[in-house]
Amino acid sequence: MADIDLSTLTIAQAHEHLIKGDFSVKELAQKYLDVISEKNGDINAYLEVYSDVMEQAEIAQKKIDSKDAGVLTGIPFGIKDNILIKGRIASASSKILENYTATYDSTAIVKLKKAGAIFLGRTNMDEFAMGGSTENSAFGVTKNPHDLERVPGGSSGGSAAAVAMNGALVTIGSDTGGSVRQPASFCGVVGLKPTYGSVSRHGLIAMGSSLDVIGPMGKSVADVETVFDAIKGEDIMDATSVSDEKYSNAEKTDRKIIGVPRHILDQEGIDDVVKKNLEDVITKYEQLGYEVKDIELPHIEYALAVYYIIMPAEASSNLSRFDGVKYGLHVEGNDLLEDYIKTRGEGFGTEVRRRILLGTYVLSAGYYDAYYNKANTVRTLIAQDFDKAFTDVDLILMPTTPTPAFKIGEKSDPLSMYFADIFTAPANLAGAPAISIPSGFADVDGNRLPLGIQLVAPKYREDLLFSAGKKFEQG
């Protein structure tokens, strides 16, 4: 058997080895299971490792042996706990869905199954994807593999940590305001938030329906691109999904111009090491032949406020279905209303209850126009700012996060936690694709903590992200 170095292995390399017979699918899967067995007790990236991994491996091996294998056949994945796989628990890391077993496959999973992927297990997350640290999981905090005293980011913290600890070749997460890109940055991996609608949300447990998108995480831009190509596409089960025609009709350009909205760095709370890293990245892109110029995004300063009105409003509506009647936790009360109150009171964690209350408030009579409608108006202005900027530049460059990974328990104040979304939420509001790429390290308390840089592209132009991302990796 060929030696398998999980720290540098890519999808393309694994595929080539599997086709050549250098190692089997079972041997590859076992290597990841061994790492999970060794490290997951400390890191808590996985909530559950599936018992049938070897059976899945056998099926994938038969595809390979019969020359019926695609590039993802036999590739081991970790799947975020809010993406449905038929017959398996999908709890969204919440007590209210602790024992909920999915009755169907999400569309993304259908596509990965068809491609022959192997599912190692379900990864930890902030409850119902609400948080930026994976401290809000009902089943324990996930720790950052680079420093076990620090958070891995969130809400897809388990997915990012799984890749960073070599516990999966690639993982799937979801991104509503930065939940793929922020943990990717904190854990030193690549994370993609695709164009809104490019990946079907069918079978994704909803938080903010106009913001949510499923996205891949991996060690390289090429790996993330491969997974994106496999899961994207129009879906009859998701009316917001977009056709491949949108991609083929997207305006192409030969320019190599990157815009930097430096004005958004002029606020408190952004670490100097993050600002210095941005300047280093700009220098590198200039050396790679890109023109870099300053741009203005006039309404981006309101993005965080807009996001924290629209997202809780949509979340409060989406989470009203968890009432203890149809599925999930049921706590008996003296009457139906008390059933609801007790079930939701015991089933939902603090952050989820906070956002339901916020969302219900902004949707209530008398406040709907003042908050929700106003926020949607400003959201349109933010999206227009991006559209206007993209007439002059091909990509927009900014940090992924305002700081490196923070310590577990350090941000007990919700507002300081929400600030972590300052650079990532705007792309969700605009529906634009964005990618976080590892861009260096910060020396903090004797530890080297990863930093990430974010590129944003026009809608349906993920190809620009992949091209610029690969050049950055290779440069």
Using one digit for the tens of pLDDT, what is the confidence trace for 446-466?
899 999 999 999 999 999 999
Check if 179 is active-site: yes
Catalytic residue of the set 26, 31, 39, 80: 80
| pLDDT the model gives residue 328 | 87
Check if 155 is active-site: yes
Using one digit for the tens of pLDDT, what is the confidence trace for 85-104?
999 999 999 999 999 999 99
Q: Which fold has domain 1-252+259-288+396-475?
A: Amidase signature (AS) enzymes (3.90.1300)
134-160 exposure pattern, b = at least 16 Cβ within 10 A, e = fewer: bbbbbbebbbbbbbeebbbbbbbbbbb
Catalytic residue of the set 94, 137, 174, 179: 179
Using one digit for the tens of pLDDT, what is the confidence trace for 215-273?
999 999 999 999 999 999 999 999 999 998 898 887 777 789 999 999 999 888 999 99
C-alpha span between 356 and 361 (Å, rounded): 8
Catalytic residue of the set 24, 155, 200, 436: 155
For residue 433, what are the contacts with CB-CB under 8 A and spacing of at least 6?
Answer: 192, 193, 194, 195, 198, 427, 456, 457, 459, 460, 461, 462, 465
Average pLDDT over residues 26-47: 98
Which token pair is 407? 């310590």
- Between 120-129, 178-187, 379-388, 404-413, the lowest mean confidence (pLDDT) is in 404-413
C-alpha span between 47 and 138 (Å, rounded): 11
Q: Residues 244, 82, 355, 208: what is their CA dihedral angle, to the nearest 10 degrees? A: 10
Query: What proportion of the chain, given as a percentage, has pLDDT over 90?
Result: 92
The answer to whether 211 and 310 are in contact (CB under 8 A) is yes
Using one digit for the tens of pLDDT, what is the confidence trace for 375-421?
999 999 999 999 999 999 999 999 999 999 999 999 978 888 899 99
Q: Judge if pTM exceeds 0.85.
A: yes
Within 294-446, residue ranges assigned H as helices are 303-318, 336-347, 350-362, 374-389, 414-418, 425-430
Asked if pLDDT for residue 1 goes beyond 70, the answer is no
| pLDDT the model gives residue 54 | 98
Strands 447-456 and 395-399: antiparallel
Check if 198 is active-site: no
Q: What is the mean pLDDT of the chain?
A: 96
Asked if pLDDT for residue 204 goes beyond 80, the answer is yes
Q: How many CB atoms lie within 10 A of CB 333?
A: 14
Q: Select from 349, 375, 345, 352 the least CA-distant residue to 363.
A: 375
DSSP for 187-199, please give it: HT-EEEEPPTTSB
Using one digit for the tens of pLDDT, what is the confidence trace for 160-169?
999 999 999 9
| pLDDT the model gives residue 2 | 67
Average pLDDT over residues 198-210: 97
- Please give the single-letter amino acid code of residue 474: Q
